[in-house]
Amino acid sequence: LDSHTHTPFSRSAIGTFFQQRPLLTNPFTQDALLRAYLQRHLPVRGVQEELMRFGERVVCEVEALGRQCELNPPALQRYDPWGRRLDRILTCDAWAHLRRISAHEGLVAAAYERTYGEWSRVFQMSKMYLFAPSAGLYTCPLAMTDGAAKVIETLGMPARKAFERLTTRDDKRFWTSGQWMTERRGGSDVSSGTETVAKRQQDGWFKLYGFKWFTSATDADMTLTLARVTDEHGRTTPGSRGLSLFLAEVWDSDGSSNGIEVQRLKDKLGTRQVPTAELLLDGMNARLLSEEGRGVASIANMLTITRIYNTVCAVAAMRRIVHLSREYACKRSAFGKLLKDHALHVQTLSRMEVETRAAFLLTMEVCRLLGREENRSASEREILLLRLMTPVAKLYTAKQAVSVVSEGLESFGGQGYIEDTGLPSMLRDAQVLSIWEGTTNVLSLDVLRSIEKSSGSVLQAFFSDERLQPAEASPALRPALASLRASLSALKRFCETAASRPTGAIELSARDLAYSLARVYMGALLVDHAAWEHATHTDVYTALRWCDQDVCPVVSRDAAGCFDPQTTAMDSALVYDG
Ligand code: UCC
Ligand code: FAD
């Protein structure tokens, strides 16, 4: 007998067992909640077929392209062979292919074609949600492209040609946009941090001089950026009032860059597919888009869109990891049975699913509000809610994504840590979601800004939601309703007493307040969904599970004295102990 046929670990045989990998299948057919949500709110013929078709394309085509982008990150070609400065960012073919697919599929255009009226954003973002986890972060340039189109539209079409290019389905004409805000001194505090100056030219255009410290998808065709207009003595106005919004094309008609030097590409933890660069603006020709001094307020419309994309991409990442984790649990055995038959493992997966469902409903709610606002069918209350819930949804889902994706990696055991499974990049890419487009604390303060600026009307809009009414009729939902009602009353009391608190207390409560608004709203949306006539027992179970937890941490932390300004000294002592 040949010993090789009987010795499993000899040289020619490396064992007989090979674990089957988790298989990605059509993300639309896999997603019970997305399908139910659309069946309930957008039961239009063609929508489900379109998403089914697109889901198939994501698996068969987009997934491989996204992976290629991860494996072939962009490079900077600074000089040509003869020493001339080029500053060309080289991206892989897959990146270019994703651009074409994005244009053809109307991933931005669908929002502006408004085929589904007030539901057009929900439709567009449903597509984006299917696309995002496979698309190698091509969602990043799309977010900024959509945001730029939104700014132009809101300002009354001062750049119609650019708008048409940003929203076309023709890949030959399609433009992507950048969003260059962050400078060395500040990415959060843009108003103090912006040093870039804009010098007016005789023809009414401007030349910009400055240094943009983080610019993503720097291969864009155009960008929106902030700068300070100089007066005839070269002086500028400090702070927010000195900032204006500019539109610049990145490349001149001869293919050379528009007064831009790429200093270097960033070496990043994740988002490696995306070229993120440091740019020196050395006389970049640009046109003023906003009124002078209205730069921050004008670019805020872009921030609304990019923050909503961030939210969509966060929940999409969660859904993808749950999809793969549950699939793997049907294939992997340990201790004599499949993982799916280990109650503790399934409990872990079900907790991830609850987080994902809550995040999904909040995300779609924000998209619904945006769609209504754009269709001019939103009530005043809905416009206020959109303002309040955009930062809330962004900050909360970003944190959920890091936690759910991290848990998801663990569900593959050691394989979750192995690069060529493609899983680790999901965690790396999730980590950015809470940093860019405003960090958690900065967005928590934006929530306070929205409350203050509206003299509390955004909170009135929040508390006047009558969505819980239909659930009264469902005995199964009673515990969830009771918990939500108690939390809502406590949250309302907290907000009512806010004004009388000592200076500093409200700022200290900002993050917990934002988390509470998120969790309570998610609870209400889960209960509302579970009260729908076609809801399933798993919808009811999700609502109950969500409302089991402390959905209102601002109240419990307040009771523990966490927002007493005197805690700041102790916090500081603790942090700097030793
Ligand atoms: O990070 C980036 C990444 C790009 C990659 C794209 C990824 C997309 C997602 C894809 C997923 C895969 S781009 C850079 C992002 N940077 C930020 O997010 C900045 C973070 N910092 C802030 O948000 C700050 O809060 C600032 C910069 C807005 C603070 O500025 P000010 O000037 O100190 O704020 P003020 O003075 O309070 O506000 C100035 C005006 C006010 O309007 P008026 O003058 O009419 O009273 C505010 O009400 O701006 C208005 N405003 C807003 N309006 C400020 N924030 C908002 C807002 N969020 N919505 C509406
Ligand atoms: P800082 O503002 O220095 O913040 C540091 C810490 O302080 C944070 O934890 C923050 O929460 C906290 N903090 C700040 N202020 C307060 C406060 N008032 N109260 C409490 N806590 C506070 N920017 C662009 O303009 N365009 C881009 O295309 C772009 N792409 C990016 C791509 C990547 C991969 C990354 C990582 C960043 C990108 N950025 C981009 C920059 C990004 O928007 C900023 O990094 C971000 O807004 C934070 O700004 P900062 O880095 O200056 O941090």
Q: Tens-digit pLDDT profile for the chain (578 aa)?
A: 444 556 677 766 778 899 999 999 999 999 999 999 999 999 998 999 999 999 999 999 999 999 999 999 999 999 999 999 889 999 999 999 999 999 999 999 999 999 999 999 999 999 999 999 999 999 999 999 999 999 999 999 999 999 999 999 999 999 999 999 999 999 999 999 999 999 999 999 999 999 999 999 899 999 999 999 999 999 999 999 999 999 999 988 887 889 999 999 999 999 999 999 999 999 999 999 999 999 999 999 999 999 999 999 999 999 999 999 999 999 999 999 999 999 999 999 999 999 999 999 999 999 999 999 999 999 999 999 999 999 999 999 999 999 999 999 999 999 999 999 999 999 999 999 999 999 999 999 999 999 999 999 999 999 998 888 889 999 999 999 999 999 999 999 999 998 899 889 999 999 999 999 999 999 999 999 999 999 999 999 999 999 999 999 999 999 999 999 999 999 999 999 99
Please indicate, yes or no, if residue 484 is contained in any of the structural domains.
Answer: yes
Give dist(CA 509, CA 467) in Å, integer.
26
Atom 47 in ligand 1: which residue has the minimum CA distance?
Answer: 297
Give dist(CA 275, CA 272) in Å, integer.
7
Query: Beta 177-180 vs 206-216: how paired, if at all?
Result: unpaired
Confirm or reject: Cβ of 238 under 6 Å from ligand 1: no
Backbone dihedral region of 259: left (phi > 0), alpha (psi from -120 to 50 degrees) or beta? left
Please indicate, yes or no, if residue 544 is contained in any of the structural domains.
Answer: yes
**Proximal ligand: closest to the CA of 178:** 2
With the C-alpha atoms ordered 164, 165, 171, 172, is the resulting torsion angle positive or negative? positive
Please indicate, yes or no, if residue 239 is contained in any of the structural domains.
Answer: no
Please indicate, yes or no, if residue 519 is contained in any of the structural domains.
Answer: yes
Confirm or reject: Cβ of 450 under 6 Å from ligand 1: no
DSSP tag of 255: S
User: ipTM value of the model?
Assistant: 0.99
Q: Dihedral of the CA atoms 507, 438, 300, 511 (nearest 10)? A: -30
Please indicate, yes or no, if residue 83 is contained in any of the structural domains.
Answer: no
Confirm or reject: Cβ of 296 under 6 Å from ligand 1: yes
Q: What is the pLDDT of residue 252?
A: 86
Confirm or reject: Cβ of 446 under 6 Å from ligand 1: yes
Please indicate, yes or no, if residue 530 is contained in any of the structural domains.
Answer: yes
- Give me the number of domains the chain comprises: 1
Please indicate, yes or no, if residue 516 is contained in any of the structural domains.
Answer: yes
Residues 6 or more apart whose CB falls under 8 angstroms from that of 546 comprise: 354, 358, 480, 519, 522, 523, 526
Q: What is the pLDDT of residue 5?
A: 56
Mutational pocket test of ligand 2: of 183, 436, 437, the residue with most ligand atoms within 8 Å of the beta carbon:
436
Which atom of ligand 1 sits closest to the CA of residue 439? 20
Q: What is the pLDDT of residue 6?
A: 62
Ordered alpha helix ranges (H), 278-342 = 295-329
Please indicate, yes or no, if residue 314 is contained in any of the structural domains.
Answer: no
Q: What is the pLDDT of residue 353?
A: 98
Q: Single out the residue of 55, 47, 48 nearest to residue 28, CA to CA.
A: 55
Give the range of the structural domain holding residue 482, as residue numbers without chain letter: 465-575
**Proximal ligand: closest to the CA of 192:** 1
Coil, strand or helix: which one is 200?
Answer: strand
In the structure encoding, which two tokens stand for residue 280, read together? 């020196």
Residue 571 alpha carbon to ligand 1 centre in Å: 28
Q: What is the pLDDT of residue 1?
A: 43
Confirm or reject: Cβ of 542 under 6 Å from ligand 1: no
